[in-house]
Structure 1
Amino acid sequence: MDFTDSGLYRDITDFARDTPVWVRHTAEIGTEAGLLVFVALFVAGWWRARRAHTRAFAIAALAPLATAAAYVCSEALKSLVTEERPCRAVAGAAPSLAECPPHGDWSFPSNHATIAGASALTLVLVRRALVWLTVPLALLMAFSRVFVGVHYPHDVAAGLLLGTVVALVAVRLALRPALRLTGALRASPAPAARWLTGPGPRPATRPGPTYATHRRR
């Protein structure tokens, strides 16, 4: 089958072959390293949310779970579409920089792009300021899968869209149960449960009497 963006795939992989060696090695390592960055951000978001209100903690806890749900949907869609990898299917393309996955490890959609899209979206829900980090990282990860030759451009575009949509729906559907569970765990007598969810925000301290008040008394 001739895909509409196979020409763009050839252009990108040809360009990749002409880049310096360090760029190619960085691209090969970068997609996996990007996943580790997202994992670290999930952990940091959870830790920070332990001192936050119940809603903020619930969203931080749901972020990796929603990303996992997006990955499962991506895998299910792969088994339905069964699109061959471009590193085998596109004639005349430059050899892929990364090892071409075996037959049966289908191309559409890109799991990496799906995870990247879901991670970026849920982390922004946890903390809006992260948009300046997570969105460029997700786009770079998605592009790198085409750059190293293991996905078509439409694979990564679909993966980004699938990841963001599934993650958003998952967070919205699970938020109410997560709020109830967080409240129950924070009120639990079990130390492990209270440590996991954290104490929540510190209660506001009332200001003490001022010097002028003492003088009036």
Structure 2
Amino acid sequence: MMGASLGRFHAEWRRRLQAGVERAPELDPRSGVWLIRWALVALLVGSTIYLICGYHGGFERLNGIASGYPDWLWEHLTSLGDERLVFALSLLFSLRYPRLFWSLVVAGTIAALYGRGFKALFDASRPPAVLAADLFNLIGPAHRHASFPSGHSVTAAVFCGVLLFHSHRWGWRVLLTLIAVAVGLSRIAVGVHWPVDVAAGLMGGALAAWVGCRIAQRWSGPAANPVLHLSIVILAAFPAMSLLYDPGDYSSAVPMVRILGLAGLVGMLVQYGLLPWRSLARVDGLR
């Protein structure tokens, strides 16, 4: 009896995964062009700052302007660049849109290689390691190493970039771009990254999103593989859970971080447990 029930549950779950795979909308090529332009603009901005003002150029001015706004604003924005939040948020749509989820997995892998690779290669010093404490506004911990590129900017750009790639509306493209840029600017505002770091992060994240989505389009089989899909979902649940007991270094953003982490976990349980079970119970009730 139990074995039969589990078998039916598994079949219903696989049916939902297949329905999600077939739900994938037709992509708008203009979204891909938008991402390429995003990356080129970020490259142009970063290169201009570096060539004219040097690696540290623009930091004190931008950090000073940002200090005129409340700390809680920057703490909330910068917390959105925590890669664990991306795992949590992805659990909200992983089963309904498995192709989108798979695109994020591929793009995220590329982005992680880019960000961590260059951090290890350059190990550039951050503002707290270079500037006296009274010369800039520091919010949160004083990170000192692995400055280039900004990891939070990479994370925000790749997540927003993947969503943008699958968007058909101009307004959504603008909003997602602005969110990623705001997260990047918050890293300057909290005093732990140079503008060049942020520009490089936004460029790399956007390119990773474009490349990852193109690869996922051509190599779409894993999106429909139940074992691989569920394995990735389970792995994503662990960083989402960590947000509940380790919400980060920015105190005012702790409630938001925990709520989003919990939302991702609840969304996972609803998609992969409650809804299939309710569907089977409804069928049994009609018999």
Distance 1:9 1:182 in 2: 42
Structure number with greater Rg is 1
Could you tell me whether the CA contact under 8 Å between 2:81 and 2:153 is conserved in 1? no
The aligned residue for residue 29 of structure 1 is 76
> Residue 33 and residue 161 in structure 1: after superposition, are their counterparts in 2 closer, same or farther (change >3 A)?
closer
Of residues 103, 106, 115, the one that matches 2:146 is: 106
The aligned residue for residue 13 of structure 1 is 63
Distance 1:170 1:148 in 2: 30
Distance 1:127 1:119 in 2: 13
> Residue 34 and residue 82 in structure 1: after superposition, are their counterparts in 2 closer, same or farther (change >3 A)?
closer
**1:84-128 deviations in Å (ceiling 9; x for gaps):** 0012213562242222114xx310000000111111111112333
Could you tell me whether the CA contact under 8 Å between 2:106 and 2:216 is conserved in 1? no
The aligned residue for residue 67 of structure 1 is 108
> What displacement does 1:10 show?
0.8
The aligned residue for residue 46 of structure 1 is 94
> What displacement does 1:25 show?
2.1
User: Within 5 Å, which residues of 2 pair with 1:63-212?
Assistant: 63-91=104-132, 93-102=135-144, 105-129=145-169, 130-177=172-219, 179-183=220-224, 185=226
Distance 1:141 1:33 in 2: 7
> What displacement does 1:170 show?
2.5
Look up the equivalent residue of 1:134 and give its one-letter code.
Answer: L
> What displacement does 1:184 show?
5.7
> Residue 34 and residue 158 in structure 1: after superposition, are their counterparts in 2 closer, same or farther (change >3 A)?
closer
Report % sequence identity. 25
Look up the equivalent residue of 1:26 and give its one-letter code.
Answer: L
Could you tell me whether the CA contact under 8 Å between 1:112 and 1:142 is conserved in 2? yes
Distance 2:72 2:104 in 1: 30
Question: Which structure shows the bigger proportion of residues in helix conformation?
Answer: 2
Unaligned runs of 5+ in 2: 1-52, 227-270, 273-287
Q: TM-score, normalised by structure 2?
A: 0.53
Look up the equivalent residue of 1:15 and give its one-letter code.
Answer: I
| Aligned alpha-carbon RMSD (Å) | 3.1
Q: TM-score, normalised by structure 1?
A: 0.68
> Residue 84 and residue 45 in structure 1: after superposition, are their counterparts in 2 closer, same or farther (change >3 A)?
same
> Residue 183 and residue 68 in structure 1: after superposition, are their counterparts in 2 closer, same or farther (change >3 A)?
closer
Partner of 1:128: helix, strand, or coil? Answer: coil
Partner of 1:46: helix, strand, or coil? Answer: coil
